[in-house]
Structure 1
Amino acid sequence: MEREPQRQLATAVAEAVARRETLVAEAGTGVGKTFAYLVPLLLSGGRALVSTATKSLQDQLYLRDLPRLRDALAVPVRIALLKGRSSYLCLHRLQQARETATLPDRFAVRALARVETWAPATRTGDLAEIEGLDDRSPVIPLVTSTRDNCLGSDCPQFVQCHVVRARREAMAADLVVVNHHLFFADLSLRDSGVAELLPTVDAAVFDEAHQLVETGLQFLGTTLSAYQAIDFARDLLAAGLTHARGQQDWQLLAGGLERAARDLRLACAGPLREVKGILKLRWDERATASASAEAFAAALAGISEAADAACEAAVAAEATSPDFTRLIERARRLAQLAHGFEKPAAVDRVRWIDLSPRDARLVESPLHIRDLFTEQRAAAPRAWIFTSATLGSDDELRWFSESAALEDARKLKVDSPFDYAAHARTWVPRQFPLPNQADHPVAVGALAARLAGRLGGRTFVLTTTLRVLPVIADALEATARAAGTPLTVLVQGSHPKRSLLRKFLDTPRSVLVGSASFWEGIDVPGAALQCVIIDKLPFPPPHDPLVQARAKALQADGRDPFDDYHVPEAAISLKQGAGRLIRSETDRGLLVITDPRLRRMAYGRTLRAALPPMGALDTEDDALAWLDELAAHNAASE
């Protein structure tokens, strides 16, 4: 079916490619932006690079969309898929894992057995081919390589290397599909083939471009983690016992590194005993505060000392295997990072600590990626196209354009073709606890039970923090039980994301309670999802060190951090969360935002304007009546 918004976007992309210009284009849900940029690229006759935010969309483009379009257009375009090292099986590391790996449990043993069974038959080596292999499996780091531990041409398996083959195919292709992580990692490390590939393309397209800035900051920064030291210790021990047994006390050296890693995490944790999820700590809370500064400094010194000792041992054993050459480089880099974090940060950079249940990451990051894109766009004349369903709340798409130094680009905003006014409603309860009140999460859970009970499940509850997930879920279950309403409550973290979503789709009368990872990239079209409840306005966390640093930078420029940063960030996130509701022309649903500030505060008008043009409801009775209408429509359709 022809869609005018899709035609407008495709025309703009074709013009940008032909003129080698920069285009920033927001395309609402249902526009069909993927085909709108792929068709002009395939017909252009030039070479192109397409980058996505997720590996799942990468696979969809390569395995489904591109082959269909190429066949329909009958164009002889050669396509290739290129992912990061951690997506490909390393044959050398698999051999090492067979011989030396210590696996934590029977699930990891089974996972390694599955990898071994699959390995001889795969052509690509892409671990995504293994059905059901969890992305979080501890086996994956054991059977994949990193920039640090890859042996390159010295590897005994170099001729059969899946990473090398993937890069070779990418260099020979007309259109290559990568992801944002790979793009930025390569520009900063020159390690994955993109830096070699980029100068040869006529057009670069970034889908899901709203994630570009945060992804870029991850890779333009510097990171030292406890896990990094543990991973190095494991590889040092494996190489030592395999190639230089008896030459050094490899167990002692590896143990020293692991102790240093443990001390670093303990110093970062300080008085905190239990950590759930990832906790961001200000740098001065640990590195300069008098109570913990001494332990923190000692932990960094311990990392560099253990790395220096490992380096000395690896140098002595270097002649026995090329593994030790890489281990020497890694040891020196580890010591260098520890010394770097002992010194003050540069004025235009910010530091913080990411603390998780098993790791601690010291992070130093720039405040923006403007310089990188300015440099890349100036390097050679090519088309740059950035597109997403959410890039800003104004016609100039300032939220994204300013952050990526694209103020001079052509801007295009095409609205969704969906009839939101007829098919969707939004409701903000008037009388409801404020988000900073203790009873707010319980009230959200109780309301979710009443709404989902009326609809028969088919509900997402999206939270802004992991902390409230169990509180909302417990209140939801308790209220449903007290009302005699049978509901199955699924909570993020109880299963991997993909299997949790499958359970939601396969289980009647289910409600899914999720946080950040369910706000975007989730596509549930049809009647399976008809109510989305957002617990509160998704403002950036005020105590986040990066948020604080950006706010200070805006203040220094004479701008208002709340109006120019916090509100636009919340508008984009709110738009993403609301976008889970209506995914096709026939979808119908209710969006509920349980934050009275959306009605009461002046900035509420700005945030409401960012949402799709749904009809507004006033009371809970109105909301229940709308859900009754949806339930009746479902019953008539089944």
Structure 2
Amino acid sequence: RGRWLVALVGIAGASLFFGESVSTSQLLELARDTRAEAVINAKDFKALPEAAERMAKTARDLRLVFREENVRLSAAQIDERAAFAPALGTVLDALRELAGVLETQAGRSEGLEKCWQRSLDLVARIERWQKPDQPDRVRWAEVYTQALALNVTPLSVADIFRRQMEDNPRAWIFTSATLAVGGDFGHYCGELGLAGAETAQWGSPFNYGEQALLYAPENMPEPSAPTYAEAVARTAWPLIKACRGGVFVLCTSLRAMKRIHELIEDKLSAYDPDRPLLMQGQATRSELLERHRAAGNAVLVASQSFWEGVDVRGDALQLVIIDKLPFAPPDDPVLSARIEHMKREGRNAFMDYQLPHAVISMKQGAGRLIRDERDHGVLVVCDPRLIDKHYGKTIWRSLPPMRRTRSEAVAVQFLESLGG
């Protein structure tokens, strides 16, 4: 007891955990909570809710500096926005003012004390974000529809994680179905600093050869082709028609997700208007999953949020279609910084980082299909690079040992045999 620690640690999750973030959502939540506390515990001190509202306005104005949404920007791209630095400075001034006002009232309630501590923490986070880039970290921002997050992410977590383990001397066990790349744990161990770790791999309890079929369609255009989304929708349609259970269409970008959803909607509205068609963003993830399971034959078109951590069993999910191999976009600020960092170390960023990450993401997406011994279904990988490129073989070998085909007729027949 107390000597074992079982961990499910993803590399991307570890980078975020050991990084730091401050968002306009956090600022607005602080303003809201401060006003609520003021109503109850500082009614006689009007300066407090007024300071909270001023800070909230600066946070909303900071978000409005960016016209885009659902994008990631590097620090250099952010610096190109002339209005950003003054807007962030205004936020910091208003936040410091609020912290000062909160300090005078913190003794009146535990809630006001907590708001004061939160304000100090947010001031410190913004000040650290403003510091110039360090060699081992990257500053970047993510712009959402209604929020902006400023992030600092370590380029490598190996040393940080190793120190965490040294500070907690015990047996550490890392377990997941997606740690290995082609049976090799080297990438995972290297990224987390697990030098000398003992590794083992056990076969799946699922009979993939009987339960599932992997279909790699022929004659697909290159993923960079302008009409690639149309080709994915064309490939998906006969399979969706043949499938009487539920369907996931997993996309690698929000733009592709919206376009593929639009194309499927056109077909489905004419062929089977009563069949539910869902898209990520129409409701929360849990609400969409609940509706998908309840319908039994729904088609869900989604992006990154549904590639992992989603469990739909039985006939409610018989078909998973993946549009592209899940390589992170090359203009992603964190990936770009890591590539440059690895080049300086004389490493091959594609083979050492981008490909292993794509393999792990692909295994996570493919893992949505078969969740227990009674599940059956078809996994479709539309991207021709799975077959045509030499690195595709690494991904191909890492996928579950399903029966494999390049024939649409075989895939349709398999789906029709499942019922639903």
Q: Deviations over 1:98-127 (max 9, x none)?
A: xxxxxxxxxxxxxxxxxxxxxxxxxxxxxx
**Cα distance change on mapping 1:247 and 1:399 into 2, 3 Å:** same
**Cα distance change on mapping 1:394 and 1:444 into 2, 3 Å:** closer
Corresponding residue number in structure 1 for 2:366: 578
Corresponding residue number in structure 1 for 2:400: 612
TM-score of the superposed pair, with normalisation by structure 1: 0.62
Q: Deviations over 1:154-205 (max 9, x none)?
A: xxxxxxxxxxxxxxxxxxxxxxxxxxxxxxxxxxxxxxxxxxxxxxx21000
Match among 256, 264, 281 for residue 62 of structure 2: 264
**Cα distance change on mapping 1:398 and 1:245 into 2, 3 Å:** same
**Cα distance change on mapping 1:419 and 1:263 into 2, 3 Å:** same
Pairwise CA distance, 1:280:
1.3
Secondary structure, counterpart of 1:411 in structure 2? coil
Question: Aligned partners of 1:603, 1:395: CA distance in 2, in Å?
Answer: 15
TM-score of the superposed pair, with normalisation by structure 2: 0.92
Q: Is the 8 A contact 1:420 1:613 kept in 2?
A: yes
Question: Aligned partners of 1:624, 1:318: CA distance in 2, in Å?
Answer: 66
Asked which structure has the greater RCO (Cα within 8 Å, sep 6+), the reply is 2
Corresponding residue number in structure 2 for 1:103: none
Q: Is the 8 A contact 1:345 1:351 kept in 2?
A: yes
Match among 266, 269, 283 for residue 75 of structure 2: 283
Pairwise CA distance, 1:371:
2.1
Question: Aligned partners of 2:296, 2:182: CA distance in 1, in Å?
Answer: 40
Question: Aligned partners of 1:520, 1:328: CA distance in 2, in Å?
Answer: 37
Opposite residue 357 of structure 1, the aligned amino acid is T
Pairwise CA distance, 1:216:
2.7
Instruction: Please tell me whether residue 558 in structure 1 is matched to residue 359 in structure 2.
Output: no
Q: Is the 8 A contact 2:214 2:405 kept in 1?
A: yes
Corresponding residue number in structure 2 for 1:392: 180
**Cα distance change on mapping 1:589 and 1:333 into 2, 3 Å:** closer
Aligned-residue RMSD, C-alpha: 2.3
Corresponding residue number in structure 2 for 1:222: 20
Q: Is the 8 A contact 1:280 1:354 kept in 2?
A: yes
Question: Aligned partners of 1:243, 1:354: CA distance in 2, in Å?
Answer: 36
Corresponding residue number in structure 1 for 2:332: 544
Question: Aligned partners of 2:272, 2:15: CA distance in 1, in Å?
Answer: 49
Pairwise CA distance, 1:605:
0.8
Secondary structure, counterpart of 1:506 in structure 2? helix
| Equivalent residues in 2 for 1:420-459, closer than 5 Å | 420-459=208-247
Corresponding residue number in structure 2 for 1:621: 409
Match among 301, 309, 331 for residue 521 of structure 1: 309
**Cα distance change on mapping 1:343 and 1:395 into 2, 3 Å:** same
Unaligned runs of 5+ in 2: none
Question: Aligned partners of 2:209, 2:313: CA distance in 1, in Å?
Answer: 18
Pairwise CA distance, 1:223:
2.0
Corresponding residue number in structure 2 for 1:136: none
Question: Aligned partners of 1:486, 1:227: CA distance in 2, in Å?
Answer: 38
Secondary structure, counterpart of 2:300 in structure 1? strand
**Cα distance change on mapping 1:519 and 1:308 into 2, 3 Å:** closer
Question: Aligned partners of 1:614, 1:318: CA distance in 2, in Å?
Answer: 61
Corresponding residue number in structure 2 for 1:202: 3
Identity of aligned residues (%): 35
Pairwise CA distance, 1:446:
3.1
**Cα distance change on mapping 1:245 and 1:627 into 2, 3 Å:** closer
Question: Aligned partners of 1:507, 1:413: CA distance in 2, in Å?
Answer: 36
Corresponding residue number in structure 1 for 2:96: 308
Question: Aligned partners of 2:315, 2:20: CA distance in 1, in Å?
Answer: 45
**Cα distance change on mapping 1:618 and 1:241 into 2, 3 Å:** closer
Question: Aligned partners of 1:429, 1:232: CA distance in 2, in Å?
Answer: 51
Question: Aligned partners of 2:119, 2:372: CA distance in 1, in Å?
Answer: 53
Opposite residue 557 of structure 1, the aligned amino acid is E
Question: Aligned partners of 1:426, 1:521: CA distance in 2, in Å?
Answer: 21
Question: Aligned partners of 1:305, 1:247: CA distance in 2, in Å?
Answer: 20
**Cα distance change on mapping 1:590 and 1:264 into 2, 3 Å:** same
- Point out the more displaced range, 232-241 or 388-397: 232-241
Q: Is the 8 A contact 2:159 2:193 kept in 1?
A: yes
Q: Is the 8 A contact 2:297 2:316 kept in 1?
A: no
Instruction: Please tell me whether residue 506 in structure 1 is matched to residue 294 in structure 2.
Output: yes
Opposite residue 225 of structure 1, the aligned amino acid is S
Q: Is the 8 A contact 2:276 2:297 kept in 1?
A: yes
Q: Is the 8 A contact 2:312 2:371 kept in 1?
A: yes
